[in-house]
Amino acid sequence: MIRVNRKRTMQIVLVSLLLSGVFSAAVSADTNSANSAVVFDPHVLSNMFVSISELVGPSVVTITSQTIVVTRVPSFPDFSHPYMVDPWGEYFQMPREQEYIMTGIGSGVIVSVDGMILTNYHVVGEADELEVVLQSGDRYTGEIVGTDPQTDLAVIRIEASDLPAIAIGDSDDLKVGQWVLAVGSPFALSQTVTQGIISYIGRSDVGLAEYEDYIQTDAAINPGNSGGALVDLDGKLVGINTAIATRTGGYQGVGFAIPVNVAVDVMEDLLTHGYARRGWLGVTIQELTPSLAEHFGLSARDGGVLVSQVLSDTPASLCGIYRGDVILTINGETFRTVTEFRNMVAALDPGNEVEIMVYRDGRSVSIPVVLGERIADEAIVSSAPSPSDDYGWTLEELDRETAETLGAPSLRGVLVVEVSQSGRAGSVGINPGDVIIEVDGFEVTSPEELGRLISSTGDVLLLVLRQGHSVYFMM
């Protein structure tokens, strides 16, 4: 038992709030005593972790994969003949093919009593054989139902019934600081349970998958945990453990899990359509930097993304979204980065009508849009740092031959031939090969015309064509 005097009463109150009533407390009624005490029983917390582990453990499985890999290996010359000469004239042999089996291990979570299991794509990938081992030790052959490499999720199936399916939670209700448990098979050690807190929600740009919206946790996750369960204190699944940030290859306090709401949406699409369906608008977008926000009459605190190009025959072009619009909200929801916007659009069902609020010519405009289905990736370009004093570029008028090389014979503009990285153009991100087509909304066709427009004002907004996509730069 732990006794704490009055001086630490506030600390105890905070702890009891943090644990949401996990500890039982008995408070002395003698308010005049300087040694009034609060008594806690830590066994209550320990027993709660035990109960969660016993509840969740049977729902988490170990997955081993075998993939046949074919490689070409070199054949070395035959030196067994006298004078190291092959009398048959085949001194150098052709490379030969060789097969070997690549094995892997990971975890999975049973999500239906009839054998559906959620896991990571990188756990099962394109495996030729899968074996699923339950907590009971029973072994089953796994079959891939569907995969989505863009979120690193997969669904596999085993032929079994009355399985202990896990209870599904709601990852939208998670809070930073909330306690969670991770269950999986790190280093092939099945049914390993670790405990920690949620460190961050909505972690993106980690570089692990195309669509990222991770739960970050300090619950110990190691190789083999991938595909396992992240659960809350109710024993409900809130995430699929996916990866770690590490310099050693092992746990260093930073792990990532895919929110269960994302995982369930992908799983339902895989089961219904055979692939993950994603909403699509048909625009090229970029971050709204402070300088760009100021130019368009906004504050960077307002959030939003800048439309630098509207693709033809897309939902955006058909509904009246234009290049230079700043998209502020989707169905009233705000976002602050390109990644947040892209994830938000992708999470919506194709064919649904959404309300998009754009900022245009000093006013907000509400535009209804029926989303399409994303087939190809939308281009995303980020702006660069603030400019220096000297432009530091070499410009030429774009000739027809170069325009044809760029795949746009009718294109007119100014070609950037060279850029000094210490100059003003280089500091904002202008690159050799860029074609400047507008300055503050005015089309330019020669270096002289561009020079006059730049010299006649302070900061200017350039519209640049780069690799087939247009991008805005403040300079």
The set of residues, in sequence order, having a beta carbon less than 8 Å from that of 165 and lying 6+ positions away, is: 59, 110, 111, 112, 113
Which of these ranges, 45-54, 145-154, 360-369, 403-412, has the smallest mean pLDDT? 403-412
Spot the catalytic one: 122, 148, 325, 470. Answer: 122
Q: Exposure string (b/e) for 78-102, b if CB count within 10 Å is 16 or more?
A: eeeeeeeeeeeeeeeeeeeeeeeee
Distance CA 187, CA 80 (A): 45
Confidence label for 95 from pLDDT (cuts 50, 70 and 90):
low
Least confident of 70-74, 290-294, 344-348: 70-74
Confidence (pLDDT) at 451: 78
Span 230-245, average pLDDT: 95
CA atoms of 429 and 464, how far apart (whole Å): 11
Active site residue 28: no
The pLDDT of residue 391 = 78
The dihedrals phi and psi of 450, each to the nearest 5 degrees, come to -65, -40
Q: What is the pLDDT of residues 421-453, one digit of tens each?
A: 777 788 788 888 889 988 888 888 888 778 777
pLDDT at residue number 359: 94
- The pLDDT-based confidence of 458 (bands split at 50, 70, 90) is low
Mean pLDDT of 273-291: 89
| pLDDT at residue 364 greater than cutoff 80 | yes
Averaged pLDDT, 88-107: 70
Residue pLDDT, tens place only, 102-113 = 788 999 999 999
Model pLDDT, residue 382: 38
Mean pLDDT value across residues 271-295: 89
Known catalytic residue at 226:
yes
What pLDDT sits at residue 457? Answer: 55
Smallest CA-to-CA distance from 47 within 16, 22, 29 is with: 22
Q: Which residue has the higher pLDDT, 174 or 378?
A: 174
Instruction: Tell whether the model's pLDDT for residue 90 goes beyond 90.
Output: no
Model pTM score = 0.72
Q: Which CATH number fits domain 393-474: 1.20.58.1000, 1.10.150.530, 2.60.15.10, 2.30.42.10?
A: 2.30.42.10
Identified catalytic residue from 190, 226, 291, 470: 226
Q: Which residue has the tokens 């659009």?
A: 345
Annotated catalytic residue 273 = no
- Are 230 and 140 a contacting pair, CB within 8 Å? no
State the DSSP code for 74.
P
What is the CATH number that goes with domain 47-73+97-273? Answer: 2.40.10.120
Q: What is the pLDDT of residues 312-337, one digit of tens each?
A: 889 999 999 998 899 999 999 998 88
Percent of the chain at pLDDT above 90? Answer: 47
Q: What does pLDDT average to over the chain?
A: 82
Compute the C-alpha angle 190/192/198, nearest 5°: 135
Q: Where are the domains of the chain?
A: 2-41, 47-73+97-273, 279-373, 393-474
The answer to whether the 279-373 and 393-474 domains have the same CATH topology is yes
* Statement: 279-373 belongs to CATH 2.30.42.10: yes
User: Is pLDDT of 28 > 70?
Assistant: no
CA atoms within 13 A on the CB side of 67: 14
Average confidence (pLDDT) over 255-274: 96
Catalytic entry in 148, 152, 232, 325: 152
Give the integer Cα–Cα distance in Å for 409 and 422.
Answer: 33
- Answer yes or no: is pLDDT of 140 > 60: yes
